Homo-oligomer: A and B are copies of this chain.
Amino acid sequence: LSVLLLLDCLGTLAFALSGALKAARSRCDVFGLVVLAIVTAVGGGTLRDVLLGAHPIFWLAQPGYLLLALLPALLVFLWSRPMARTEQPLAYADAVGLGVFTVIGASKALDHHAGWAGAIVCGCLTGVGGGVLRDLLVREVPFVLQKEVYASATIAGSGLFCILRYVHAPEWLALVGGAALVIVIRTFCIAGGYHLPQPDPPDEPPAAPTPLA
């Protein structure tokens, strides 16, 4: 279980870094960096705890998560350009965080008697919620809605976690299996650049405008 905690910290750092970099790109001041780093790192788990009614919220019980998220914000404030160059390699740390957050979320939902559908939604929400809040705060369409196999990976992972728990596999196996599935899918898609299909645009394309003269 201490391995899980270590990976949880790694994921928190990777998520906080992505928030701080997005803040710097949006011309936020130093407070904005800190807020976006914290929101990205703990936002998903906060939404999960609020929906489950799991009080106290996890970072009120363990404020260490907030302190952990401060570190990347500080680094980006001091050295924004070198930190921006770490983003590409850190996509893999982000994938690890996504996998760990997902199974932690699904596991906490089952502990609160949320049922299988609730566990899948909470797993997905814990993984992607922070990124959605981050994108909303800097006024972008949340990228999970548009790009890459990201949220779908968390649904596959929390689904596998639920199946393993349903067949009475030991909890550690379900945690490892679900997280590993997310990480494998993400790594595969980062390396290959795969996307989900989009529907056709629902409206007919407008006719070409008549030239003025």
Chain A interface residues toward B at CB < 8 A:
21, 23-33, 35-36, 46, 50-53, 55-57, 59-60, 63, 66-67, 76-78, 80-81, 83-84, 112-118, 121, 132, 136-142, 144-147, 151-152, 195-204
State the main secondary structure of chain A at its contact with B. helix
> Do B30 and A151 have beta carbons less than 8 Å apart?
no
> Do B198 and A30 have beta carbons less than 8 Å apart?
yes
User: Of B50, B142, B195, B200, which is within 8 A of A51 by CB?
Assistant: B50
> Do B31 and A201 have beta carbons less than 8 Å apart?
no
> Do B66 and A117 have beta carbons less than 8 Å apart?
yes
Which residue on B lies nearest to A113, using beta carbons? B56
Task: List B contacts of A80 (CB < 8 A).
Answer: 199-202
Q: How far is the CA of A116 from the CA of B117 in the complex (A)?
A: 34
> Do B198 and A81 have beta carbons less than 8 Å apart?
no
Task: List B contacts of A25 (CB < 8 A).
Answer: 201-203
User: Of B28, B83, B145, which is within 8 A of A146 by CB?
Assistant: B28
Which residue on B lies nearest to A65, using beta carbons? B117
> Do B138 and A137 have beta carbons less than 8 Å apart?
no
User: Of B81, B115, B197, which is within 8 A of A200 by CB?
Assistant: B81
10 CB-based A-B contacts, threshold 8 Å: A31-B144, A36-B145, A51-B60, A53-B53, A53-B55, A59-B118, A60-B114, A81-B202, A136-B137, A138-B145
Which residue on B lies nearest to A138, using beta carbons? B141
Q: How far is the CA of A78 from the CA of B197 in the complex (A)?
A: 11
> When A and B form their complex, which 8 residue pairs have the shortest distance between CB atoms, in order from nearest?
A53-B55, A32-B145, A63-B117, A84-B202, A29-B196, A80-B202, A80-B199, A60-B118
